[in-house]
Amino acid sequence: MNNDAVPDFFRRLWRLPTAPARLGRRSTLDVETVVASAVRLADEGGLEAATLPKVAKELDVTPMSLYRYVGSKQELLQLMLDAASPPRTPAAEPSGWREGMRLWASDLWELYTDRPWIPRVPIYRSPSGPNQIAWLERGFAQLADTGLDWGDKLMVLTLLTGFVRHSALLAQDLEEGRSDHSETEDKDGYARALRALVTPEHYPHTAEMLASAALLPSDEPAGAAVRADFDAGLELVLDGLAHQLPEDA
C-alpha cells in the first residue's frame, strides 16, 4: 500500500506508520497513547472530561503539542469513537437476517450503555475507522442473503444505527431528568397534570391515551423498562424492514 496516498487523518485512524520528526527530541507520545488517555477520561467522567486541555494535563504536556497526534478536537473525538467501539462477535451464528440484525442492534445498544459518552460524539463523517468498518461489515454479513442492493443495505444500517443512538440518548436524558424524583412520581405527576389540561374536545386521541393504562407506573426496575421499550421499538423497525424484503429472504 502507498501510504502517501492516504490522508493524515486516516493514517492516524488506522494507525499507519508515519514519518518521524527530523529535528528535535524524539517524543514519548504517539496517537495510541493520546487516544487511550482520552478514552479513559471519557469513561471516567463523560465526554466533557476528555477535552484537549484535560488530556494534555493528564499526559503532562501542552495542549498545542497534541495537535501533532490528533490534528483537531473533532479528529480526537473520531479517534476516540473508533478506539472505544471494538467489534463484538455473536456467541452463535444467527439464524436469518432478522435475528442477525436484532443481535447487531442489541450489541450496539450494549456498547452505548457501557460507554454512554459514545452516542454523544457529534457525527462529523461516515464510518471511517477499523472498528467502525468492522461493525459495518458485520451488518452487511447479516443482510447478504436478503436480496437488497447496496444502497438499501446502507439505508438499513443507517436507520438501525440512528434508532439505537437516539434510543440510548433518550434513555440517558430521561435518567438525568429523574435524578431528583422517582419514576413513579414522575409518571404520576405527568399524567395527572396532563389529564387536567388535555381535554377530549381539543385533543381527543391524546386524552384517550391519558385515560388508558399506557402511563401507569411499572413494577419493573427503570433499567429493565428502558430495555423493554428499546426491544419493542427495535421489533417495529425490523417489522417494517421485513415488508420491504422478498418473500424468500
- Is 211 part of a structural domain of the chain? no
- Tell me the residue range of the domain where 43 lies: 3-83
Q: Residues 42, 125: one domain?
A: no
User: In the structure grid, which three cell numbers stand for residue 176, read together?
Assistant: 438525568
Residue where one domain finishes, among candidates 55, 83, 111:
83
**What pLDDT, on the 0 to 100 scale, is given for residue 190?**
80
Cβ(52)–Cβ(66) below 8 Å: yes
The CA distances from residue 217 to 178, 182, 189, 196, 230, in Å, are 14, 10, 11, 18, 17
- Is 56 part of a structural domain of the chain? yes
Q: Residues 108, 166: one domain?
A: yes
- Is 188 part of a structural domain of the chain? no
User: In the structure grid, which three cell numbers stand for residue 80, read together?
Assistant: 476516540
Residue where one domain finishes, among candidates 83, 117, 132:
83
Cβ(6)–Cβ(16) below 8 Å: yes
User: Can you give the CATH number for the domain in which 76 is found?
Assistant: 1.10.10.60
Sign, CA torsion 49/50/51/55: positive
Closest CA to 85 of 146, 161, 22, 163: 161
Amino acid letter, 114: D
Q: Residues 125, 167: one domain?
A: yes
> CA-to-CA distance for 244 and 10, rounded, in angstroms?
35
**What pLDDT, on the 0 to 100 scale, is given for residue 103?**
97
**What pLDDT, on the 0 to 100 scale, is given for residue 175?**
85
Tell how far CA 21 is from the center of its chain.
36
**Share in percent of the chain as helix, strand, coil (round to 5):** 65, 0, 35
Q: Which helix (H) or strand (E) holds 109?
A: helix 97-114
- Is 89 part of a structural domain of the chain? no
| Number of domains the chain contains | 2
Residue where one domain finishes, among candidates 40, 59, 83:
83
Q: Residues 116, 63: one domain?
A: no
Phi, psi for residue 218 in degrees, rounded to 5: -100, 150
- Is 126 part of a structural domain of the chain? yes
Q: Residues 19, 76: one domain?
A: yes
> CA-to-CA distance for 12 and 75, rounded, in angstroms?
10
**What pLDDT, on the 0 to 100 scale, is given for residue 177?**
77
**What pLDDT, on the 0 to 100 scale, is given for residue 215?**
78
Q: Residues 26, 59: one domain?
A: yes
Q: Residues 59, 126: one domain?
A: no
Closest CA to 224 of 85, 95, 144, 113: 113
| Mean pLDDT in consecutive groups of 10 residues from the start of the chain, 249 residues | 78 85 68 97 97 97 94 96 94 92 97 98 94 97 95 96 97 80 64 91 95 77 85 97 81
> CA-to-CA distance for 187 and 1, rounded, in angstroms?
58
Instruction: Strands of the chain (E only): list them.
Output: none
**Distance in angstroms between the alpha carbons of the first and the last residue of the chain:** 38
User: Can you give the CATH number for the domain in which 136 is found?
Assistant: 1.10.357.10
Q: Residues 136, 168: one domain?
A: yes
What is the total residue count of the chain? Answer: 249
- Is 205 part of a structural domain of the chain? no
**What pLDDT, on the 0 to 100 scale, is given for residue 247?**
67
R_g of the chain computed on alpha carbons: 23
Q: Residues 42, 153: one domain?
A: no
- Is 170 part of a structural domain of the chain? yes
Q: Residues 158, 235: one domain?
A: yes
Q: Residues 66, 125: one domain?
A: no
Q: Match 443481535 to its residue by C-alpha cell.
A: 103
- Is 232 part of a structural domain of the chain? yes
Q: Residues 43, 69: one domain?
A: yes
pTM score: 0.89
The CA distances from residue 109 to 22, 62, 231, in Å, are 45, 36, 10
User: In the structure grid, which three cell numbers stand for residue 244, read together?
Assistant: 420491504
